[in-house]
Amino acid sequence: MSLFKLAVLISGSGSNLQAVIDAIENGRIKNAKIALVISTRQEAFGLERAKKNGISNMVIDRDNTPELLKALDSYNIDGVVLAGYLAVLPPEVVNKYIGKIINIHPALLPMFGGKGFYGIRVHEAVLACGVKYSGATVHIVDCGIDTGAPLVRGVVPVLAEDTAEDLQKRVLNIEHDVLVYAVKAMVENRIEEMAANPAVITFDKDKEGVLKFIEELSNQG
């Protein structure tokens, strides 16, 4: 059986990339390899992680669509993972790989998504809003910004004393579980099934409270 070839697109530290590398290494994700890591930035630490693990890697400017298409094509990529990729994929790429691109967003979509919601700003907005829970969402990428069908959400509590940085750390921690869960589903061709019934991951004691919160949130979408 041939391995499912993933491209992971990054712009920063690559801790989510590392979670996928580790999951393939320890057998949690089977029959897959990361064939290519693409970064928008030369300084991204994620590139070092790729090199250390012998993964082909390159820097492609966020506006260079022909180069991106060429790279995905020449590595025969089966699925694309946006893992801290600070750019919006152009329609040419989205349409070519429709249903085969997933993104991780550091909030519970459809809340706190869309233009301008990236990095620490997301967590500042969550704190300003005073919600009880935040988390991360992996969703299918369509031509909008953070608008594709959610596949899995990881939920963490928002604590009264949280700074945006505290919340960011707590969310990033659960992102790694959420992303591995979704990548595994992509490799196993279960994306559509998950989109019909998005999963919830939480380590919170109040499971019922979390599920109720997510149900209300999903009804908004």
Q: State the CB neighbour count (10 A cutoff) for residue 204.
A: 15
Q: Which residue is nearest to ligand GRF (CB)?
A: 84
Q: How far is the CB of 38 from ligand GRF (least distance, A)?
A: 13
105 is catalytic: yes
Q: Which lies closer to ligand GRF via its Cβ, residue 17 or residue 191? A: 17
Q: Which is nearer to ligand GRF, 164 or 209 (CB)?
A: 164
Among 5, 203, 189, 180, CA closest to 83: 180
134's CB contacts (< 8 A; 6+ apart) are: 107, 108, 112, 123, 126, 155, 156, 158, 167, 170, 171
Count other C-beta atoms under 10 Å from residue 197's C-beta. 7
Binding site for ligand GRF (CB under 6 A): 10, 12-16, 46, 83-84, 104-106, 172, 175
In one-letter notation, the amino acid at residue 104 is I
Q: Which is nearer to ligand GRF, 10 or 187 (CB)?
A: 10
Pick the catalytic residue: 105, 123, 139, 176?
Answer: 105
Residues with catalytic annotation? 105
